[in-house]
Amino acid sequence: MRHNDESLCQKETLNAPKQIHDITNLNINSTCHHPIQQIYPPSPNMNFSKRLRRVNVSQAVLQVVKGAQKWNDNGKNDASWDIYEVSEHAKHTVNPIRQVCDTMSIAPNPNKSLIKLHLGDPSLTGSFPPSPVAEIAIETALRSHKYNGYGPAIGYVEARESVARHFSTPQAPITADDVILASGCSHALQMAIEVLANPGDNILVPSPGFPLYSTLMRSHQIEDRFYELDMCEGAQINLDNLESLMDCRTRAIIVNNPSNPTGVVLSRDHLEDVLRIAHKHRLPIIADEIYGELTYDGAEFVPLATLEPRVPILTCDGIGKRYLVPGWRLGWLIVHDRYDAFTQIRKGLVALSQKIVGPCALIQGALPKILSDTPASFFERITSILAKNACIVHERLSRVRGLRPLKPNGAMYMMIAIDEQFYGDDKTFVQNLIAEESVFCLPGSAFHAPSWFRIVLTHPTNVTIEACERIIQYCNRRGCIQHKTPTSQFSDAFQELSNETSESECFLSESD
C-alpha cells in the first residue's frame, strides 16, 4: 500500500506546476494536509489527505523533485513560463503625462532645493491644510462604526442626498436619485465615458486639456478628438473648430471649466454658445467641474447644467480639489436629464458603479458634514492665495524675453508659452530648468500643447517668488533680456493677452 500511494503521488506530481519551495518550507512534523492539497488536486478515486498522511514530508519533496526532473526530460522547463501577452485594454491604457515625463531622466541641480511646480496635488505644498470641519467629520464617522462595511454601489443615500442638497438649483434641480458616488472625480469621468461611447466612437475633448481624458478613452478604443482652445484669445473654445469635428460617431463633448491646465474660467455667454451647438447636434456634455468655485479676480463660475435644460449633462465633481483632500478619493456624477433622454444611461451608470462596489464608505459617512459645514472663509483663503501667486508669476515672467504667461482666473494652474528660437521645445526647456535650477514644471506636450509649460500656484508665496527668480535666472543665462519686444512668433493679440495685468495691479511689496 505504501508503495502504491507513493507511485500515485508521483504520477499526480508530473501533471502539477513546480512548487518545490512551497513544500520545502513546510514543518517536517506536520501531516501536510492543506499546503500539499493546494499543490496537488485531490484524486477523484482516493481520499487525498488520508493518502498523504502515509507519506512524510521528505518523501513528498523527493517525489516532487523526481517529477520536476521528468518534466524537464519531456522537454518542458518547469521553472519558466511562456511570455503572456498583455491585454488589448492594457496596451491602450497610456497616460500622456507619463509618456512625456518618462523620457525626461534629468537629475536636479544638487546645490539647489527642488521646487515642484508640476504636481496638481494641493495637499503637498504646505499652504493648504484641509478644513478642521472635514477632519472632525472623518473622526465622527470613524467612531460611529457605521461605515466599516460595504455600502450600496452607487453610494449611501445620505451621502447622495447631501450632494443633491448642495448642488441643486432652481435652474437645475436634482435629487439623490440623480447622484452616483465615485472613487474621485477621475472615476466619475471614467463612468461617464464608458456609459456613453463604444469602441470606434469619438468624444470631443479640449486641447490643451487634462490628459486623463485620453487615457480613459484610448483604453476602450474610443477616439479622443481634440477641439481647440484659442490660446491667443484667452483660451476660449474655438466654436467653429468644435462644430467641424462632429460626425455620426461623435458621442459627447467634454467641457472642463475652470480649466486644467489653463486656469481659465469660461464665461456664461461662451458656455451658452457651446450648449447651442450641443443641442443643435443632439450631443450630451460631460462637464468636468472639479475646480468649480475655485475662481478669483472677479471671475464667475457658472455650472453648465444651470444654463440649458434641453441638453443632457453628466457633471463630474468631487471633494479632492476644493476641499484639498485628493487622497480621500470621493467624487460624484450628477445626471442632469430633464427630458428623459438618459433613461438607459442611468441604468448603465448603476451597472458600472458595481465594478468597484462603491467608493470609500468612511469618507461617504463624513461627506454630509463636509459639504454643509465647511465655512466660506476656508474657500476664500484658498482663492486669495491662488490669486496672489497668479499675479506674482504673471507679473514677473511677463518681463522675460521669450516667455508669455496666460493670466488665469481659476483652478490652480498657469500656462506659459515658450519662444522656441530662444529655448528649444517645451521638453528641452523643462529639462534644462530642472538640471540648472531644480525647478520642476510640466511640458505643455503632456497636455497636447507643445511650446507651453504648466506650473501650479499652490506653493507658499515665498516659494513661488523663489521659483520665478530661478526661471528668470535660467532665461537670462540664455541671453534673454527683460522688458523685451515681441518676436515674430507671437501675434499682437498674444502680446496684448500677456499684458492684461500691469505691475501696479499686482500690489507687490518687499515682503512678497
Alpha carbon distances (Å) from 433 to 138, 262, 421, 474? 41, 21, 16, 7
Q: Round to the nearest angstrom and report the end-to-end CA distance of the chain.
A: 89
Q: Residue 427 pLDDT more than 50? A: yes
Tell me the three cell numbers of residue 498: 500677456
pLDDT surpassing 50 at residue 113: yes
CATH entry 3.90.1150.10 includes domain 96-126+377-506: yes
What would the mean pLDDT of 227-238 be, rounded to a whole number? 97
At 138 the pLDDT is 98
* Residue 98's pLDDT band (cuts 50, 70, 90): confident
Write out the H or E segment, with its range, that includes residue 454: strand 452-456
Contact predicate 166/372, CB 8 Å: yes
Give percent of the chain with pLDDT exceeding 90: 73
| pLDDT confidence tier of residue 489, bands split at 50, 70 and 90 | very low
Evaluate if residue 338 carries a pLDDT over 70: yes
pLDDT of residue 400: 96
Q: Return the pLDDT at 18.
A: 44
pLDDT of residue 397 exceeding 90, the answer is yes
Say which residue, 452 or 6, is predicted with more confidence.
452
Beta pairing partners, 356: none
Residue 13, pLDDT > 50, answer: no
* pLDDT recorded at residue 269: 98
**pLDDT range class, residue 506, cuts 50, 70, 90:** very low
Give the fold, CATH level 3, of 132-373: Aspartate Aminotransferase; domain 2 (3.40.640)
Domain with CATH 3.90.1150.10 in the chain: 96-126+377-506
* pLDDT greater than 80 at residue 20: no
> Is 60 exceeded by the pLDDT of residue 78?
yes
User: What's at 134, amino acid-wise?
Assistant: A
Q: How far apart are CA 321 and CA 317, in angstroms?
A: 9
Residue 357 clears pLDDT 60, i.e. is over it: yes
Phi, psi of 259 (to 5 degrees): -90, 135
Tell me, what's the pLDDT at 63?
61
pTM of the model: 0.80
Contacts of 58 (CB under 8 A, 6+ apart): 28
The span from the CA of 492 to the CA of 384, in Å, is: 31
Query: Quick check: 360 pLDDT over 50?
Result: yes
- Does the pLDDT at position 76 exceed 70? no
Q: pLDDT averaged over the chain?
A: 85
Give the confidence band of 491 by pLDDT, cuts at 50, 70, 90. Answer: very low
Where exactly does CATH 3.40.640.10 map onto the chain?
A: 132-373
Cα 89 to Cα 99, 195, 216, 390, 464: the distances in Å are 17, 16, 10, 40, 40
